[in-house]
A and B are shown apart, each in its own frame.
Chain A
Amino acid sequence: DQQVKQNSPSLSVQEGRISILNCDYTNSMFDYFLWYKKYPAEGPTFLISISSIKDKNEDGRFTVFLNKSAKHLSLHIVPSQPGDSAVYFCAASEPNSGYALNFGKGTSLLVTP
C-alpha cells in the first residue's frame, strides 16, 4: 500500500521556467518529508527536506512547500536548468521510525533547452 504517491510519472519543462513536482501522502503520522534526486545508474541523492512544523523551506533554486491539511507537498525549481533533468523522489518518515523512509514512485523531469 503506497503511503507516498507521486501521480505524475513524468514532466517536461523549458529551461528557465519553473518546474513543479507534486507529492501526496496518506499517513498522518508522517512528520518529516524529503526530496531526493536520481540520475541514471546512480543512487538517489538528498536534495531538500521539510519538517511538519513548517510550511516552506528554501535552498537556492529549490523550494519545498507543505500543506498538512491537504497531505500534499510540492517541489519548485526556479529557474529550471538542463542539469536538473533527473528522477525526483518524494519521501516521508514517521517519528521513532529509525529514520526509515517511505518513497514515492518518482517523477522523471526533463528540462529542455
Chain B
Amino acid sequence: DAGVIQSPRHEVTEMGQEVTLRCKPISGHNSLFWYRQTMMRGLELLIYFNNNVPIDDSGMPEDRFSAKMPNASFSTLKIQPSEPRDSAVYFCASSYGTRDGYTFGSGTRLTVV
C-alpha cells in the first residue's frame, strides 16, 4: 500500500483565495482525521470521519474551514477565504479502528501570503 496520500505537498496562495487540500486514506481504513501543525499549538485535531461520516468537527477553527468525505477513498479540506494565519502544515491520517493504527500522510505545507 502507498500509505496515506496527500496533495499538494506545498501550496502557496494569496490571502482571500480558496484552498483545497486532498487526502486519499489507506484502503480498508474506516476513520480519517485532519490535523494541523503550527509552532504555537503543535498538532491539533480539526475534524475526523468514521465510515465517511463527520463525527467531531469541534476543532475546525472557523466557518472558513470545511471538510468532506464523499467516499471511503477521498477527503478534502477547504479553506475559503484563506488568511495568513492559516499558514501551517496540514496532515491527514487514517486508521482501521485501533488507536495504534494511525497512519499519517506526509502533509501539505500551506503558506498564505
Contacts and interface: CB of A to CB of B under 8 A. Distances in A.
Interface of A: 2, 32, 34, 36, 41-46, 49, 89, 93, 98-106
B33 to A, nearest CB: 7
Nearest to A98: B55
18 contacts: A32-B99, A43-B106, A44-B43, A44-B91, A44-B104, A46-B102, A98-B48, A98-B50, A98-B56, A99-B48, A99-B95, A100-B33, A100-B45, A100-B56, A103-B42, A103-B44, A104-B42, A106-B42
B99 A45 contact: no
Contacts, number: 63
B72 interface: no
Nearest to B55: A98
Tell me whether chain B's interface is mostly helix, strand or loop, or mixed: strand
B98 A103 contact: no
B21 to A, nearest CB: 14
A22 to B, nearest CB: 15
A79 to B, nearest CB: 25
Contact of B48 (A49, A89, A100, A105): A100
